[in-house]
A and B are shown apart, each in its own frame.
Chain A
Protein backbone atom coordinates (compact mmCIF):
# COMPACT_ATOMS: atom_id res chain seq x y z
CA UNK A 1 0.00 0.00 0.00
CA UNK A 2 1.33 3.44 -0.89
CA UNK A 3 1.92 5.60 2.14
CA UNK A 4 1.36 9.32 2.41
CA UNK A 5 4.48 11.36 3.09
CA UNK A 6 3.75 11.87 6.79
CA UNK A 7 3.03 8.19 7.44
CA UNK A 8 6.39 7.14 8.91
CA UNK A 9 7.53 4.24 11.07
CA UNK A 10 10.83 2.82 9.78
CA UNK A 11 9.98 4.46 6.47
CA UNK A 12 11.35 5.93 4.25
CA UNK A 13 14.40 5.29 6.46
CA UNK A 14 15.02 3.31 9.63
CA UNK A 15 17.49 5.96 10.83
CA UNK A 16 16.81 7.51 14.23
CA UNK A 17 14.71 10.64 14.07
CA UNK A 18 16.28 14.02 14.79
CA UNK A 19 15.10 14.94 18.29
CA UNK A 20 17.34 17.94 18.79
CA UNK A 21 15.67 21.09 20.13
CA UNK A 22 16.20 24.63 18.94
CA UNK A 23 15.32 28.06 20.25
CA UNK A 24 12.02 29.07 18.69
CA UNK A 25 12.12 32.09 16.43
CA UNK A 26 9.49 34.83 16.79
CA UNK A 27 7.70 33.73 13.62
CA UNK A 28 7.40 30.21 15.02
CA UNK A 29 5.82 31.46 18.25
CA UNK A 30 3.48 33.66 16.21
CA UNK A 31 2.53 30.70 14.02
CA UNK A 32 1.60 28.69 17.08
CA UNK A 33 -0.45 31.61 18.42
CA UNK A 34 -2.11 32.10 15.03
CA UNK A 35 -3.26 28.49 14.84
CA UNK A 36 -4.66 28.60 18.35
CA UNK A 37 -6.46 31.86 17.57
CA UNK A 38 -7.96 30.38 14.40
CA UNK A 39 -9.13 27.35 16.40
CA UNK A 40 -10.59 29.64 19.06
CA UNK A 41 -12.53 31.53 16.38
CA UNK A 42 -13.79 28.25 14.90
CA UNK A 43 -12.02 28.88 11.60
CA UNK A 44 -9.96 25.69 11.58
CA UNK A 45 -9.32 22.73 13.87
CA UNK A 46 -6.31 20.52 14.55
CA UNK A 47 -7.59 17.75 12.26
CA UNK A 48 -7.80 20.20 9.37
CA UNK A 49 -4.31 21.43 10.29
CA UNK A 50 -3.03 17.88 10.05
CA UNK A 51 -4.82 17.19 6.76
CA UNK A 52 -3.25 20.30 5.28
CA UNK A 53 0.21 19.17 6.38
CA UNK A 54 -0.31 15.64 5.09
CA UNK A 55 -1.38 16.87 1.66
CA UNK A 56 1.83 18.81 1.04
CA UNK A 57 3.82 17.62 -1.98
CA UNK A 58 6.46 15.18 -0.71
CA UNK A 59 9.46 17.32 -1.67
CA UNK A 60 7.99 20.41 0.03
CA UNK A 61 7.12 18.37 3.11
CA UNK A 62 10.68 17.05 3.41
CA UNK A 63 12.18 20.52 2.94
CA UNK A 64 9.89 22.31 5.37
CA UNK A 65 10.50 22.76 9.08
CA UNK A 66 7.81 21.94 11.65
CA UNK A 67 6.17 25.37 11.71
CA UNK A 68 6.68 25.93 7.99
CA UNK A 69 4.38 22.93 7.57
CA UNK A 70 1.84 24.56 9.87
CA UNK A 71 1.91 27.76 7.79
CA UNK A 72 1.53 25.82 4.56
CA UNK A 73 -1.52 24.09 6.02
CA UNK A 74 -3.07 27.32 7.38
CA UNK A 75 -2.82 28.92 3.94
CA UNK A 76 -4.33 25.86 2.25
CA UNK A 77 -7.24 25.41 4.67
CA UNK A 78 -8.12 29.12 4.85
CA UNK A 79 -8.00 29.34 1.06
CA UNK A 80 -10.34 26.33 0.80
CA UNK A 81 -12.76 28.11 3.12
CA UNK A 82 -12.59 31.40 1.27
CA UNK A 83 -11.06 33.25 4.23
CA UNK A 84 -8.05 33.90 1.99
CA UNK A 85 -8.28 34.43 -1.76
CA UNK A 86 -6.01 32.21 -3.87
CA UNK A 87 -2.58 33.84 -4.02
CA UNK A 88 -3.59 36.56 -1.58
CA UNK A 89 -0.67 36.01 0.79
CA UNK A 90 1.87 35.98 -2.06
CA UNK A 91 0.44 39.23 -3.40
CA UNK A 92 0.53 40.94 -0.01
CA UNK A 93 4.07 39.76 0.69
CA UNK A 94 5.25 41.01 -2.71
CA UNK A 95 3.74 44.48 -2.29
Chain B
Protein backbone atom coordinates (compact mmCIF):
# COMPACT_ATOMS: atom_id res chain seq x y z
CA UNK B 1 0.00 0.00 0.00
CA UNK B 2 1.66 3.18 -1.24
CA UNK B 3 -0.40 5.82 0.51
CA UNK B 4 -1.19 6.46 4.17
CA UNK B 5 -4.00 8.26 5.95
CA UNK B 6 -3.47 12.00 5.56
CA UNK B 7 -1.50 11.80 2.28
CA UNK B 8 -2.47 14.26 -0.46
CA UNK B 9 -3.30 12.46 -3.68
CA UNK B 10 -4.38 13.46 -7.17
CA UNK B 11 -6.71 11.38 -9.33
CA UNK B 12 -5.25 10.50 -12.71
CA UNK B 13 -7.05 12.10 -15.64
CA UNK B 14 -5.80 9.57 -18.19
CA UNK B 15 -8.17 8.29 -20.80
CA UNK B 16 -9.70 4.90 -20.06
CA UNK B 17 -11.91 2.77 -22.25
CA UNK B 18 -14.25 0.38 -20.55
CA UNK B 19 -15.47 -0.33 -17.05
CA UNK B 20 -13.79 1.48 -14.18
CA UNK B 21 -14.93 2.85 -10.85
CA UNK B 22 -13.35 6.30 -10.99
CA UNK B 23 -15.97 9.04 -11.51
CA UNK B 24 -15.28 11.56 -14.26
CA UNK B 25 -15.88 14.51 -11.92
CA UNK B 26 -12.82 13.49 -9.85
CA UNK B 27 -10.29 13.04 -12.63
CA UNK B 28 -7.43 15.49 -12.25
CA UNK B 29 -8.69 16.61 -8.81
CA UNK B 30 -6.77 16.42 -5.55
CA UNK B 31 -7.90 15.11 -2.19
CA UNK B 32 -6.64 13.49 1.00
CA UNK B 33 -6.52 9.83 2.02
CA UNK B 34 -9.08 9.37 4.79
CA UNK B 35 -9.05 5.57 5.18
CA UNK B 36 -7.08 2.62 3.86
CA UNK B 37 -9.68 -0.06 3.19
CA UNK B 38 -7.24 -2.84 2.29
CA UNK B 39 -6.71 -4.80 -0.92
CA UNK B 40 -9.47 -5.98 -3.23
CA UNK B 41 -9.84 -7.67 -6.61
CA UNK B 42 -9.78 -5.28 -9.54
CA UNK B 43 -13.24 -4.66 -11.05
CA UNK B 44 -11.66 -3.44 -14.29
CA UNK B 45 -10.69 -7.01 -15.20
CA UNK B 46 -13.51 -8.79 -13.37
CA UNK B 47 -15.94 -6.83 -15.56
CA UNK B 48 -14.56 -8.78 -18.55
CA UNK B 49 -14.61 -12.22 -16.94
CA UNK B 50 -11.14 -12.01 -15.39
CA UNK B 51 -10.21 -12.99 -11.85
CA UNK B 52 -9.38 -9.44 -10.76
CA UNK B 53 -5.88 -10.39 -9.63
CA UNK B 54 -3.55 -8.99 -8.49
CA UNK B 55 -5.56 -7.31 -5.76
CA UNK B 56 -5.30 -3.53 -5.64
CA UNK B 57 -5.21 -1.24 -2.62
CA UNK B 58 -8.46 0.67 -2.12
CA UNK B 59 -8.60 4.00 -0.32
CA UNK B 60 -11.34 6.32 0.86
CA UNK B 61 -10.35 9.77 -0.37
CA UNK B 62 -11.97 13.01 0.79
CA UNK B 63 -12.36 16.01 -1.52
CA UNK B 64 -13.39 19.55 -0.68
CA UNK B 65 -16.60 19.80 -2.67
CA UNK B 66 -15.75 23.37 -3.58
CA UNK B 67 -12.83 22.01 -5.65
CA UNK B 68 -15.20 19.81 -7.63
CA UNK B 69 -18.06 22.26 -8.06
CA UNK B 70 -17.13 25.87 -7.29
CA UNK B 71 -19.25 27.33 -4.52
CA UNK B 72 -20.45 23.96 -3.23
CA UNK B 73 -20.22 23.37 0.51
CA UNK B 74 -19.28 20.19 2.41
CA UNK B 75 -16.98 17.32 1.42
CA UNK B 76 -17.24 14.33 -0.88
CA UNK B 77 -15.89 10.88 0.11
CA UNK B 78 -15.12 8.38 -2.65
CA UNK B 79 -13.45 4.95 -2.68
CA UNK B 80 -10.64 4.85 -5.25
CA UNK B 81 -8.18 2.16 -6.30
CA UNK B 82 -4.47 2.84 -6.00
CA UNK B 83 -3.71 2.69 -9.73
CA UNK B 84 -5.89 5.78 -10.20
CA UNK B 85 -3.97 7.84 -7.61
CA UNK B 86 -0.73 9.84 -7.76
CA UNK B 87 1.10 11.62 -4.96
CA UNK B 88 0.08 15.30 -4.88
Chain A residues engaging chain B, CB cutoff 8 angstroms: 1, 3-4, 7-11, 14, 45, 47-48, 50-51, 54, 81
Contact = CB atoms under 8 A, between A and B. Distances in A.
Interface residues of chain B: helix, strand, loop or mixed (majority): loop
B13 A7 contact: no
Given A1-B13, A51-B47, A51-B48, A7 B69 contact: no
A17 to B, nearest CB: 14
30 contacts: A1-B13, A1-B15, A1-B27, A4-B24, A7-B23, A7-B24, A9-B23, A9-B24, A9-B25, A9-B26, A9-B68, A10-B68, A10-B69, A11-B25, A14-B69, A45-B46, A47-B46, A47-B47, A47-B52, A48-B46, A48-B47, A48-B48, A48-B49, A50-B43, A50-B47, A51-B18, A51-B19, A51-B47, A54-B19, A81-B49
Interface residues of chain A: helix, strand, loop or mixed (majority): loop
A1 B52 CA distance: 26
Contacts of B68: 9-10
Nearest to B18: A51
Interface in B22-71: 23-27, 43, 46-49, 52, 68-69
A11 B26 CA distance: 13
B28 to A, nearest CB: 9
